Amino acid sequence: MIQVIGQWLPYLMQGAWVTVKITLLSGVVAMLFAMLSGLGKLSSLTPVRWLASGYIELFRAASLLVLLFWVYFALPIAGLELSKTWSAVLAIGLNIGAYGGEIVRSAIQAIPKGQYEASIALNLSPLTRMRSVILPQAIVRMLPPMGNLWIEMLKATSLVYFITMADLTYEAMILRNNYYTDTPIIFGLLLLIYYVLASCIAAPVKWLERKLTAWR
Amino acid sequence: MEYRGVTKSFGDLEVIKGIDLRLHAGEKLAFIGPSGSGKTTLGRMLMTLEQPTTGTLTIDNEPIWQMKDKRGNWKAANEAHLRSIREKVGMVFQHFNLFPHLTVERNVTLALTSVLNLSKEEAIGRAESMLEKVGLLDKLRNYPSQLSGGQKQRVAIARALVMRPKVVVFDEVTSALDPELVGEVLAVIKEIAKEGETAMMLITHEMDFAREVADRVIFGAEGLIVEEGTPEDIFERPQSERLRTFLSRL
Amino acid sequence: MWSWDYAMDVSVILLRALPAALLAAACGFVIASTVGLLIAALIRSRFASVRRVASSVAHFIRSTPLLVQLFFLYYSLPMLVPVSMTAFWTGAIGLGLHYSTYMSEVYRSGIDALPKGQWEAATALNLSKRRTWFSIVLPQAIPPVLPIMGNYLIVIFKETPTLSAITYVELLLRAKNEASVTYRVFEPFTIVGIIFIVCSLMMSLLVARLEKRWGRRPSA
């Protein structure tokens, strides 16, 4: 048995690398859109606010898998052909980014009013107010929900199986074709690997949280 | 600094019903009165945290909420104008509002480096001498959460005064403190008041303190100034029935 | 690239698949609500071992993808135990189990929001455990979290396309089948996307109204 698993591992590792890559790339897109839309929703400019809440509402209402299909299969008809990787990164990043936008907004809104007032009283510029006073405190509040969001993102990458990207899930399905009788073990192993990957996200988030809250 | 015909409403509620008031350079003005009399709102208006509904507020004859455009017409103040006003005003809050994620030193130097563009060394030097004045030089590296309420408020006082504003609003700075910590904060304010350069607007419930520090005391109730005069006038020879009732209830 | 005639035809076909998606979501939601409550109760058990096992299992389910769980249930469970489920029931149970772990957190937030005095009063009245839960705790803990539960119904609905992986014909698989016959992909996939967005927005409007009626909302 051990030997057979040893034969599987190289394939699974290859798939895991694709999964990790998609997670990280989508993560960058998602965090960028989360910041932009979260801050945009609090902007004093009405059009910016509308744009940000329009994005958040639309992409939270969309079904991720359908979005992925649309980006990969339908968008090329409209003239925009993206590689599998970029289709996946764009669909997952935009979808998760909308949830992240709400996290950013609520973390910033949770900063007590007194902090704004004190920074006005000290005559800090709006930029310094945000950068030195509000964001450092808001980021600490964002960390736990953002950590969970990254785990959601990791799980969401399994959907790239549908557009035949050779991620962890896809590799496991191919193994299953070759080792049909071992199906339960393959899927069990697959679940375990995802669990380990999720723990790899949770641990540094916990560490960062402790580090950033030294002042509490 | 001058308030002329200032009123302020929050929705249907009129909290300031018409105030005319002058504060001279270096003057220490104490504001007393029952809660809900609009004292805090007056201070917050000076700090540009609230905009008066009607009337004008000026500092050095310059309106806070209006400015002249290129052609010399009055228009609503923009952020740049407000920021030039805020250079002259500082505020100490009831609930300290220290920045919890910054050390004591950084709390005090933040505005020095980012607003006044002082070098790090200069800023730290000024912060240290200010913190020495409030007796907290040994807490430089601590975070606010490691300080007592009285120490926090003393840091907040240092943070406001280090900017060398012309006037500082002290908004019920001892109301959120345990009784045994009130003394240390008041002592620091008295000390600074003696130096005399900075004008102070002391919104307070501490009558003995008002009497000792203030040049002039104002008694306000329900959004109006009821009585004003020297501490002796107000505390020894109250004229109005309201003030007498207020003082007798303490 | 866009043909209105075809779009109309395919809309009708796709909307006929909507009940299948809604049914799977509804069954998944009922299972998630029930199992979630069970998990929430187990996590408050008197026995440390029960608490530990319940929260580890919930944590494991929460940390792994629904898609893989569906594959496990559909393809390998029949090889381990002598049961075989239809794609529909595998999908509903998969959705239900996966989201039960989220639902247990929702219940927990509702239960935690209950003042300690309520438990103490129940003890003082010498109520049984069962009586305490069903007469005192749940009637107070659930109404405030109903809107959050409603939001999870929407989340579950949006996850139903994943069931296409185990051959359950819902909206996405229907669109895929259509596309493979007509060789037109733009209209079917766009319309499926729009159907999901419209349905989710309508459901969230309903939840928002529910929220207004129930007022208070503790954070999840």
> Measured between alpha carbons, how far is residue C80 from residues A210, C69, C76 in Å?
43, 15, 7
Q: Above 80 in pLDDT, residue C217?
A: no
Q: Above 90 in pLDDT, residue B249?
A: no
The number of domains in chain C is 1
Give the span between the Cα atoms of B183 and B180, in whole angstroms: 7
**Domain housing A30:** 2-215
| ipTM > 0.85 for the complex | yes
Mean pLDDT estimate for chain B: 92
Chain A residues lying within 8 Å of C71, measured CB to CB: 169, 173, 187
The pLDDT assigned to C215 comes to 59
CATH number where A90 lies: 1.10.3720.10
A62 touches chain C (CB under 8 A): yes
Amino acid identity for residue C173 in this structure: L
| Substitution target from A58, A66, A154 for chain C, most C beta carbons within 10 A | A66
The number of domains in chain A is 1
Do the chains contact at B83 and A125, CB–CB below 8 Å? yes
C103 domain-assigned? yes
The residue among C195, B32, B75 whose CA lies nearest residue A70 is C195
Q: Above 80 in pLDDT, residue C96?
A: yes
Q: How many residues does chain B have?
A: 250
Give the span between the Cα atoms of A189 and A11, in whole angstroms: 13
Q: What is the mean pLDDT of residues A84-99?
A: 97
pLDDT digits (tens, 9 = 90+) for B4-50: 889 898 888 889 999 999 999 999 999 999 887 788 999 999 999 99
The pLDDT assigned to C93 comes to 97
Where do we find the tokens 């969230």? C204
Mean pLDDT estimate for chain A: 94
Q: Above 60 in pLDDT, residue C45?
A: yes
β strands within chain A, DSSP E:
none
Where do we find the tokens 């939601």? C29
Contact pairs from chain A to chain B, CB under 8 Å: 74
Residue of B nearest to A122 (CA): B111
Q: Which H helix or E strand runs over A146?
A: helix A135-156
Q: Give the best-scoring range by mean pLDDT among A18-32, A76-90, B19-33, C172-186.
A: A18-32
The pLDDT assigned to A214 comes to 80
CATH number where C157 lies: 1.10.3720.10
Torsion sign over Cα B6, B9, B12, B17: negative
C219 domain-assigned? no
Token couple for A35: 């910041």
C67 domain-assigned? yes
C220 domain-assigned? no
The pLDDT assigned to B69 comes to 84
The residue among B47, B46, B39, B52 whose CA lies nearest residue B175 is B39
Chains C and B: 3 or more CB pairs within 8 Å of each other: no
Q: Give C220's pLDDT tier (boundaries 50, 70, 90).
A: very low
**Cα B171–chain centre separation:** 5
Q: Above 50 in pLDDT, residue A191?
A: yes
> Measured between alpha carbons, how far is residue A121 from residues A117, B80, B111, B216, C122 in Å?
6, 14, 10, 24, 51
The pLDDT assigned to B70 comes to 85
A158 touches chain C (CB under 8 A): yes
C63 domain-assigned? yes
Do the chains contact at A122 and B97, CB–CB below 8 Å? no
Q: What is the mean pLDDT of residues A109-133?
A: 95
Torsion, CA A145, CA A148, CA A154, CA A159, rounded to 10 = -90
pLDDT digits (tens, 9 = 90+) for B158-201: 999 999 999 999 999 999 999 999 999 999 999 999 987 899 99
Q: Give C216's pLDDT tier (boundaries 50, 70, 90).
A: low
Q: Distance from C78 to chain A by nearest Cα, in Å?
A: 9
How is residue B88 annotated by DSSP?
T
Other C-beta atoms lying within 10 Å of the C-beta of residue C33: 20
Q: Distance from A187 to chain C by nearest Cα, in Å?
A: 6
Q: Give C218's pLDDT tier (boundaries 50, 70, 90).
A: very low
Give the span between the Cα atoms of A109 and A116, in whole angstroms: 11
**Domain housing C156:** 4-214
Query: Of the candidates B95, B100, B156, which has its C-beta nearest A215's C-beta?
Result: B100
Q: Above 80 in pLDDT, residue C1?
A: no
Q: What is the mean pLDDT of residues A92-112?
A: 97
pLDDT digits (tens, 9 = 90+) for C123-163: 899 998 889 999 999 999 998 899 999 999 999 999 999 99
Token couple for B187: 């002592």
Query: Of the candidates A120, A123, A215, which has its C-beta nearest B143's C-beta?
Result: A215
Q: Which H helix or E strand runs over B136?
A: none
Chain A residues lying within 8 Å of C79, measured CB to CB: 181, 183-184
Q: Which residues contact A64 (CB under 8 A, 6 or more apart)?
A: A91, A92, A95, A156, A159, C158
Q: Give C211's pLDDT tier (boundaries 50, 70, 90).
A: confident
Residue of B nearest to A213 (CA): B101
The pLDDT assigned to C219 comes to 42
The pLDDT assigned to A1 comes to 74
Give the span between the Cα atoms of A107 and A143, in whole angstroms: 10
How is residue B225 annotated by DSSP?
E
Residue of B nearest to A134 (CA): B99
